[in-house]
Amino acid sequence: MIGGLFVYNHKGEVLISRVYRDDIGRNAVDAFRVNVIHARQQVRSPVTNIARTSFFHIKRANIWIAAVTKQNVNAAMVFEFLLKIIEVMQSYFGKISEENIKNNFVLIYELLDEILDFGYPQNTDTGVLKTFITQQGIKSATKEEQAQITSQVTGQIGWRREGIKYRRNELFLDVLEYVNLLMSPQGQVLSAHVAGKVVMKSYLSGMPECKFGINDKLVMDAKGKGSLGASSDSDPARSGKPVVVIDDCQFHQCVKLSKFETEHSISFIPPDGEFELMRIKRMAGMKETQLSAEIELLETDTKKKWTRPPISMNFEVPFAPSGFKVRYLKVFEPKLNYSDHDVIKWVRYIGKSGLYETRC
C-alpha cells in the first residue's frame, strides 16, 4: 500500500501532494526534498529509506515523482504503478513538464482519486479512466463526448467505449524490430538477437473484431512452448521457408488468448487510437551462454595506454530483419454494416538498431 504521492520540480518545490494514510506526515515532503533532491551527492538508488519511511522515486525530465510508504511493499509493483501514472498523464495532456502539471493540477488530483483508494491501486487503464473523467488536458483542443459509465463498469470490454464513429475507418499497423549485436575485435559474434513490438493505430467505428495472422501458423516446440514460425510445415528443414522463432511475447489485454491457443490466430477488439498490440522480448538469433563471475580490481599508479571504446551503429531500414511478416489483417463489424473491404489498412515494417556494438 502507498501512503502518499508527491510530485516535485527540479528546485524541490511541491507541485502535487496527496496523502492517503495517516502514518505519513507533512514532514515527509521536506524529508525527500532535503535528502534526495538537494543532497550534496547524487542519489543513484531509486529507493531511499529515511526515518523508517521508504521513498520510491523516478525522474522524468526535470520532474520528480515519489511514492512514500512505511509498510513493507513490493518495490516492483510501486515502480510499475508510477510508470502507469506517467502513462495516464501523458495520454491526457502530453509531455510531462512543470508547466503542463501546473496547468492541469485539478485534472491530476481527479485522476489520483480514481487511481488510488486508501493507498491501494485500483484502475490505471487509460480507456476506462477517460469514461469516468471526461475532462481533457489544456493541450487538447476537443472534448470527448461523455460515455455511458454504467455500461463500461458492468461490460466485459473496459478498454473501448461504445458509440465510436468515424467518417473513414482506418487501421495502421507498425512492426518495429530492434537488432542487438555484440561483436569481438576479431569479428566473432558474441551475442545477436532481435526484439520488437507491434503497434497499432485504430480508427474504427463501433465494436469491431480484428484478426491478425503472422507467418502462416504457430509452431510448437518439443517442450510445448508456443513460438511463431513462418513454415507451413512443423519441420522447417522440409518446408524450405525461413522460420521466425519467438522465444517470448506479451499481448495487450484485448487479445483473446483462448482463441490464440486453440485456433492459432490473434483475435481482439482493439482500443480506440494508438496502442501496443504485441511485444516480442526476444527472437532467436545465435546461441549464447551466460556466465556469472566476481572480479576484483586492484588499484595501480602505472599509466595505461588509451584503449579505443567500442564502435556503435545507429540505423533504420524499412523492413523486418527477422523475417517477421503479417499474412493477413481482417476487420469484422456486423452491426454497423461495413466489411473488411471498406477499411483502409496499412502495414509498415521498420528495423532499427538496438545495442549494436563492435569492440575494438
**pLDDT for res 62:** 85
**pLDDT for res 246:** 64
Q: How many CA atoms lie within 13 A of 229 on its CB side?
A: 20
Q: Is 252:273 a contact under the CB 8 Å cutoff? A: no
* 16 burial via Cβ count (<10 Å: 0-12, 13-18, 19+): middle
pTM above 0.85, yes or no: no
- Rounded to the nearest integer, the mean pLDDT of the chain is 78
Q: Per residue in 128-180, pLDDT tens?
A: 787 777 666 555 333 333 334 444 444 457 788 888 889 899 999 999 999 88
Asked if residue 353 has pLDDT above 50, the reply is yes
pLDDT grade for 202, boundaries at 50, 70 and 90: very high
Beta-strand relationship, 326-332 and 209-214: antiparallel
**pLDDT for res 223:** 37
Q: Per residue in 245-298, pLDDT tens?
A: 666 778 888 888 777 666 667 889 999 889 999 888 776 544 444 556 676 777
Fold agreement between 4-154 and 170-286+308-358: no
Q: Per residue in 15-30, pLDDT tens?
A: 988 888 888 887 888 8
Q: Per residue in 42-60, pLDDT tens?
A: 777 888 888 888 889 998 8
* Separation CA 326–CA 177 (nearest Å): 14
Domain spans, the chain? 4-154, 170-286+308-358
* Separation CA 151–CA 162 (nearest Å): 9
Question: CATH fold of 170-286+308-358, please?
Answer: Immunoglobulin-like (2.60.40)
* Separation CA 32–CA 49 (nearest Å): 10
Averaged over 77-92, what is the pLDDT?
Answer: 88
CATH of 4-154, one of 3.30.450.60, 3.20.20.140, 3.40.50.10490, 3.20.20.150: 3.30.450.60
b/e burial code for range 164-199 (CB count within 10 A of at least 16 → b): beeeebebebbbbbbbbbbbeeeeeeeebbbbbbbb
